[in-house]
A and B are shown apart, each in its own frame.
Chain A
Amino acid sequence: MSAGQAVAVRRPRRSPLRAGGLLPHAVLVVAALCALGPLLFMLLTAFKTQKQYLNDVYGLPWPLTLSNFSEAIHGGELYTWLKNSAIYTVGSVLVSTVAAAFCAFAIARMRFRGQSLLLSINVALMVVPPVVMLIPLFAQFSDLGLVGTYRGVIAIYAGLTMPFSIYLLTSFFRTLPGELFDAALVDGASHLRVLRTVVLPLSAPALVTLVVVNSLWVWNELLIALVFLPEDDLKTLMVGLTTVLQGRFSLNVPVLMAGMVLASAPMLLLYFAGQRFFIRGLTAGALKG
C-alpha cells in the first residue's frame, strides 16, 4: 500500500505526454463547468426566494434567503430522516466492517477447506444486483417480522456491502508481510490478538477507505429503503426526498433544493475534507459497480 501511495504522490512536474496549448485547458474548464453547474444550481437556488427563482434561474441569490432551509426542515421530517439515515449507515457499516475483518483475516491468513471457493463466491456476489433479491427478501423479512425495523435494514445493508468489504480487506491483508504473523504467533499470541494488535493497526488506511465507500453507498441507497421502510418515522433521507419533499415542494423549487443541500451536505463536506479517502477508496472499490 505505501509503495503504491508513494508512486501516486510522486508526480512528474512535467509529463512527457504534454500536448501544450490552450485547447486542453479549455476542454478541462468546460468539463469542470459541466460537473459543477448542477451543483451550483442546487446551492444557489436554495438561497433564493420563489420569486427570484422564477424571475431568473441564473441570477445570484441576493438578498440571501435562509427561510427555505427552515421550511424544508419543517415541511418534511428532515431531522427524523437525517437521524434514520445516520443510524442505518453507522449500524450497517459497523457490522459489515467487523464481520468482514474476521472473515478476510481467515481467508488471507489461515488455511482451510473451501477457502478459495468462498472468495470466488464472494467476488461473484459483488456483481449480483440487489433488485434480484428484493421480492424474496421482503417475504422472508416479513415472516421474520423484520420489515420496518432498524435491525432488519441494518442487516440487509451490512449483507449487501459485505462482498466488497471482504474482497477489499482480503486483498489488503494479503499484502501485509507474513513474518509479522509468524513472529507474533511464535510469541504465543492467539489469532484474535494478532488480528487486534498486529493486523488492524496496520490496516487503518484500508479500513478508513472501506468505511468511506460503504457509508457513501448506504447513505445514498434508495431501493431497499423504499421497500423495507414504509413507516414515516423510519424513512431515510433519500426516501424522504423522493417520496415526500419532491412531491410537496414540486412547485416551490428553492425549498426542495434547500432540502437536498441539507441531505447532501454530510457527504459533500466529508468529501471535500478527506477526498483522498474517497478517491482512493472508490477506485480501489471499483468492483462494487
Chain B
Amino acid sequence: MLKTRPYIPYLYCLPAVALLALVFGYPMIRVIDFSTRLVRGSSGPFIGLDNFRNTLDDPTFHDAWTHSLTLLIAVPIMLAISLLVSVLLYEQVRGWRIFRTVLFAPYVLAVPVAAIIASYLFQLHGAVNELFAAVGLDSLAIDWIGSEDYALMTVLIVIVWREVGFGIVLFLARLMSQDTDPLEAATIDGASWWQRLRHVVIPELRPTIEFYVVVSAITMLSSVFGYVFALTHGGPGTSTMVLELYIYNLGEVESAPGMASAVATILLAATTVLIALMFWVRRRATRRDLAESL
C-alpha cells in the first residue's frame, strides 16, 4: 500500500463516484420518493401507498411478475446445456477452438437483432415450421409467436439461444485451467465417463456453477427487455409481459411514472436479495475465476 496525502485517494475516486451518484445513487433514492407521489414531470403531491395499491390491483403487474419468474426456467436449461457442451468440448481435441468460436458467436449479436431474426424464423410459415414440416414433424409446427400459450416459451428459446454460449465459454475456461490429476486418478481407478463427470468434474466446477446460476438469474429478471421489446412487445395480450417492459410501458407509454416507480421500487427490493446472493457466490468463486480467466 502506498502512503499518501490524505485527500489524494478521494481525489482519484471523485469522477467515478460522481458518475455513480448521478446514474445510480440519486435515482435510486428518487425512485423510492417517486413511488409515493403522483408524479407529473419531476415531482408531484404525496399520495402515500396509492401507487403500490394501484399496481397490486393491476392484473398486468401479476402477469409481469409471473413471466419474469417463469423465465428463470432458462437458468437450469442453460446450465445443463453449457455443462454438457463444455465438457464435450474439453474432451474433443480436434476443432474445439472452431466449435468454441461458433457456439459463442450468438452472444456477440445484439439482443434486438437476435429477437428480430427470431421473429421471422418463428413465424407461422417461417423457417422453423417449414423445417418441421420437411422432416414430417408437422405436429410440432405451432404458432410460436402469435399464440398466447407459446409466446413466452418462444421468448425463452431465443434467450437460451443467444445466452447459452456464455456459460459454455465460462465452464470451458474453468475446465481448461483445472488440475487434471484427479481425473487421471479416477480414470486409472476405472471410473466411467458419467462417474468422472459426476464425482470429479462437477464438484470441481461447483463454485463456478453457483456463480453462473446467480448471474443468469439476474439476467433473466433484469436484462430481457430487448428480447420482448423486439420480438413480441409483451404480447399477444400480456402473455410475454415482463417486469422491465411493464415499468417501461407505465413510465413511457401510459405516462404513469409514479406507478412505474412503485414497480421499480419493488424490483429494487427483490434485487437486494440477489445482491446478498451475489456477495455469497463472489466470495466463493470470483477471485479464482477472475484471476484465471484474465
CB-contact partner of B187 in A16, A99, A168, A178, under 8 A: A16
Q: How far is the CA of A70 from the CA of B4 in the complex (A)?
A: 59
Please classify the interface of chain A as helix (H, G, I), strand (E, B), loop, or mixed, using the class held by over half of its residues.
helix
Residue pair B294, A260 in contact (C-beta under 8 Å): no
Q: Which of A144-168 contact B (CB under 8 A)?
A: 155-156, 158-160, 162-163, 166, 168
Stretch from B28-36, B53-61, B71-79, B141-149 at the A interface: B28-36
Q: Which of B10-45 contact A (CB under 8 A)?
A: 10, 12-13, 15-17, 19-20, 22-24, 26-28, 30-31, 33-34, 39, 41-43
Residue pair B102, A35 in contact (C-beta under 8 Å): yes
Give B178-221 as 1s and 0s: 1 = Cβ < 8 Å from A's Cβ atoms.
00100110110000010011001100000000011001101101
Task: Please give the distance in Å from B180's CB to the nearest CB on chain A.
Answer: 6
Residue pair A275, B271 in contact (C-beta under 8 Å): no
Could you say which residues of chain A place their CB within 8 Å of the CB of B19?
95-96, 99, 155, 158-159, 162
A115 is an interface residue with CB less than 8 A from chain B: yes
Residue pair B9, A160 in contact (C-beta under 8 Å): no
Task: Please give the distance in Å from B253's CB to the nearest CB on chain A.
Answer: 11
Could you say which residues of chain B place their CB within 8 Å of the CB of A283?
166, 169-170, 173, 289, 293
Could you say which residues of chain A place their CB within 8 Å of the CB of B41?
139, 142
Could you say which residues of chain A place their CB within 8 Å of the CB of B43?
139
B103 is an interface residue with CB less than 8 A from chain A: yes
User: Number of contact residues on B: which range applies?
Assistant: 35 or more
- Residues of A in contact (CB 8 Å), total 119
Which B-chain residue is minimally distant from A138 (CB atoms)? Answer: B251
A123 is an interface residue with CB less than 8 A from chain B: yes
Q: How far is the CA of A4 from the CA of B290 in the complex (A)?
A: 9
Could you say which residues of chain A place their CB within 8 Å of the CB of B39?
135, 139
Give A65-106 as 1s and 0s: 1 = Cβ < 8 Å from B's Cβ atoms.
000000000000000000000000000000110111011011
Residue pair B268, A132 in contact (C-beta under 8 Å): yes
- Say whether, besides A16-B183, A32-B103, A106-B9, A8 and B15 are in contact (CB < 8 Å): no
CB-contact partner of B271 in A8, A27, A127, A280, under 8 A: A127
B84 is an interface residue with CB less than 8 A from chain A: yes
Which A-chain residue is minimally distant from B286 (CB atoms)? Answer: A287
Could you say which residues of chain B place their CB within 8 Å of the CB of A220?
110-112, 226
Task: Please give the distance in Å from A149's CB to the nearest CB on chain B.
Answer: 14
Which B-chain residue is minimally distant from A38 (CB atoms)? Answer: B117
Residue pair B264, A99 in contact (C-beta under 8 Å): no
B41, B43, B292 pick with most chain A CB within 10 angstroms: B292
Residue pair A132, B264 in contact (C-beta under 8 Å): yes
Q: How far is the CA of A12 from the CA of B93 in the complex (A)?
A: 9
Q: How far is the CA of A194 from the CA of B1 in the complex (A)?
A: 13
Residue pair B229, A242 in contact (C-beta under 8 Å): yes
B279 is an interface residue with CB less than 8 A from chain A: yes
CB-contact partner of A15 in B91, B110, B118, B286, under 8 A: B91
Q: How far is the CA of A283 from the CA of B173 in the complex (A)?
A: 8
Could you say which residues of chain A place their CB within 8 Å of the CB of B260?
134-135
Which A-chain residue is minimally distant from B174 (CB atoms)? Answer: A283
Task: Please give the distance in Å from B161's CB to the nearest CB on chain A.
Answer: 7
B176 is an interface residue with CB less than 8 A from chain A: yes
CB-contact partner of A272 in B101, B161, B197, B222, under 8 A: B101
Could you say which residues of chain A place their CB within 8 Å of the CB of B212?
286
Q: How far is the CA of A279 from the CA of B107 in the complex (A)?
A: 10
Residue pair A135, B34 in contact (C-beta under 8 Å): yes
Q: Hey, which bits of chain B sit against chain A, CB under 8 A?
A: 1-4, 6, 8-10, 12-13, 15-17, 19-20, 22-24, 26-28, 30-31, 33-34, 39, 41-43, 81, 84-85, 87-93, 99-114, 116-118, 120-121, 126-127, 130, 161, 165-166, 169-170, 173, 176-177, 180, 183-184, 186-187, 193, 196-197, 200-201, 211-212, 215-216, 218-219, 221-223, 225-226, 229-230, 243-244, 247-248, 251-252, 257, 260-261, 264, 267-268, 271, 274-275, 278-279, 282, 286-287, 289-294
30 pairs of residues in contact across A and B, judged by CB atoms under 8 Å: A1-B294, A8-B177, A19-B91, A31-B99, A31-B103, A35-B105, A35-B106, A38-B117, A38-B118, A39-B109, A41-B117, A111-B3, A124-B278, A125-B20, A129-B244, A133-B27, A136-B27, A139-B257, A142-B41, A160-B23, A205-B294, A219-B110, A220-B226, A222-B112, A226-B248, A241-B112, A260-B113, A271-B105, A275-B101, A284-B293
Counting from the closest, the 6 A-B pairs by CB-CB distance are A159-B23, A129-B222, A136-B30, A103-B16, A133-B27, A220-B110
A160-B23, A289-B219 are known contacts; what are 13 more A-B pairs with Cβ within 8 Å? A4-B291, A8-B177, A17-B196, A31-B85, A129-B222, A133-B23, A139-B34, A222-B112, A223-B229, A280-B173, A280-B293, A284-B293, A289-B222
